[in-house]
Amino acid sequence: MATYLSIFIFEMLASLILWFFLTKIFKNKFYLIAIIICIISLFVGYISTYRMIGYDVTRNYLTEINRIKISETGKGITLEEEKYYANNLFSDEKFKSMLFSHSLKVMAIPSILLIIIIFSIAIKSQKKHLKSS
């Protein structure tokens, strides 16, 4: 739940900042602005989700390897071993495909909510603009 919330907040903040700047550039083209923001926020959401999940999985993987090594030898893994295990993990194609598909699943709900909110803002802005003209 915290992952969904953090992704949603991150995407929403980026979108609102973009909305502010794009309304200055594309005056009164609210649906175009909404489409641009939704496309950009999908990319931003995917990248941040991919990195967040990759970091969590890598941290858990290295913690488990460290725990096993401590139980076997009494010493933890070195920095060089940590880099080696992390590089091996990220070079594994199964891991990359799992990370890709899981990132898409995790970012789906926050992105759908964001799209609904952005288009609601665009509809309200368009109605206000039509009433004022």
The pLDDT tens digits along the chain (133 residues) read 567 787 788 888 888 888 888 888 888 888 899 999 999 888 888 888 899 899 999 999 999 999 999 999 988 999 999 999 999 998 999 999 999 999 999 888 888 988 999 999 999 999 998 888 7
* Predicted pLDDT at 66: 93
- Reported residue count of the chain is 133
Which pairs with CB-CB distance under 8 Å and at least 24 residues apart come from 54-59? 54/90, 54/99, 57/89, 57/95, 57/99, 58/86, 58/89, 58/90
Which pair of tokens denotes residue 71?
């139980």
What's 28's DSSP letter?
T
What's 26's DSSP letter?
S
* Predicted pLDDT at 58: 92
Report which of 33, 37, 7, 21 is spatially closest to residue 129, judged by C-alpha positions.
33
* Predicted pLDDT at 19: 87
* Predicted pLDDT at 35: 92
What's 75's DSSP letter?
S
Residue 117: CB atoms within 10 Å: 16
* Predicted pLDDT at 2: 67
* Predicted pLDDT at 1: 56
Task: Report the distance separating Cα 41 and Cα 18, nearest Å.
Answer: 10
